[in-house]
């Protein structure tokens, strides 16, 4: 499951050279106009290398969520460049950005975002349905993903029959079923108790270590950020510090 799929025809081929996995170059993001104008990002420069586990922190309104939305191809910068393996994402069409999300990115959210009346297996299969993969192949890959998060025996259960920690594991299985290059996790432990939170973080560490998935995680919790190899702090639309875990900012 760790092989990166080839991009479909409408998406230009991403580079395979020595460039960083992803890079933001002097990125700004402005919302509104006139007196309602708000500059969420003010010239952000950021590089992420393949295989990193990065925690992104900062107070509300600091720009961290805006930066993650741009990295996740959910928004475009007002100015500056977003480069993914040599490919200028800000120059892509909306459909091409959707293909980039579908084939290279996985998402995990605080609220799980599972379909309530759908089994764990069917929830995990959903990204493969959008890809048009055959039913037998979908089942096999979804079961493998559930096995990777320790929930193979729960594949027929709906979200209402699962604990919060189990629901987040299903959400992580759904995110990795497509063998993404990058996993974007937005407060993945925000709705969990302490024990379940540490279990989810151990799982993310294992996926990063064993499968080579690059993990970018937004969190408000210092205890969760300690699992990352690198911590980036945002403040007032800029990167205020960027350091390896264990080093002083």
Nearest to 219 by CA among 59, 94, 63: 59
Q: How many domains does the chain have?
A: 1
Return the pLDDT at 2: 46
CATH code: domain of residue 101: 3.40.50.300
Return the pLDDT at 3: 45
15 falls within a domain: no
Return the pLDDT at 14: 54
Tracing tokens 């959707």 back to the chain, one arrives at: 98
pLDDT digits (tens, 9 = 90+) for 136-173: 999 999 999 999 999 989 999 999 999 999 999 999 99
Return the pLDDT at 249: 60
**Domain span holding position 173:** 22-199+212-244
CB atoms within 10 A of CB 135: 10
5 falls within a domain: no
Tallying the residues shown for the chain, one arrives at: 249
Return the pLDDT at 5: 47
17 falls within a domain: no
- What residues in the chain have per-residue pLDDT under 70? 1-18, 247-249
Phi, psi of 146 (to 5 degrees): -65, -40
7 falls within a domain: no
Instruction: Using CB atoms within 10 Å of the CB of residue 236, give its burial: 0 to 12 exposed, 13 to 18 middle, 19+ buried.
Output: middle
14 falls within a domain: no
204 falls within a domain: no
3 falls within a domain: no
108 falls within a domain: yes
Q: Would you say 242 and 57 are in contact if contact means Cβ atoms under 8 Å apart?
A: no
């Amino acid at each position: 499951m760790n092989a990166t799929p080839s991009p479909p025809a409408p998406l230009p081929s991403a580079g395979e050279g020595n460039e960083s996995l992803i890079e933001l170059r002097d990125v700004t993001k402005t919302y509104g106009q006139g007196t309602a104008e708000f500059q969420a990002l003010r010239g952000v420069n950021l590089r992420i290398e393949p295989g990193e586990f990065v925690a992104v922190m900062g107070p509300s309104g600091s720009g961290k969520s805006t930066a993650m939305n741009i990295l996740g191809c959910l928004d475009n910068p007002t100015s500056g460049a977003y480069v993914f393996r040599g490919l200028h994402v800000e120059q892509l069409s909306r459909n091409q950005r959707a293909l980039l999300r579908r084939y290279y990115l996985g998402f995990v959210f605080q609220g799980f975002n599972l379909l309530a009346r759908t089994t764990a297996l069917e929830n995990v299969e959903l990204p493969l349905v959008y890809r048009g993969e055959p039913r037998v192949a979908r089942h096999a890959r979804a079961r493998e993903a559930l096995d990777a998060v320790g929930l193979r025996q729960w594949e027929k259960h709906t979200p209402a029959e699962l604990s919060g920690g189990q629901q987040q594991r299903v959400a992580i299985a759904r995110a990795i079923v497509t063998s993404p290059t990058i996993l974007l996790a937005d407060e993945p432990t925000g709705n969990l108790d302490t024990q379940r939170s540490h279990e989810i973080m151990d799982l993310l560490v294992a996926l990063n270590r064993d499968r080579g998935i690059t993990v970018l995680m937004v969190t408000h919790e210092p205890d969760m950020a300690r699992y990352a190899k690198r911590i980036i702090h945002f403040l007032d639309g800029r990167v205020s510090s960027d350091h390896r875990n264990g080093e002083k900012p």
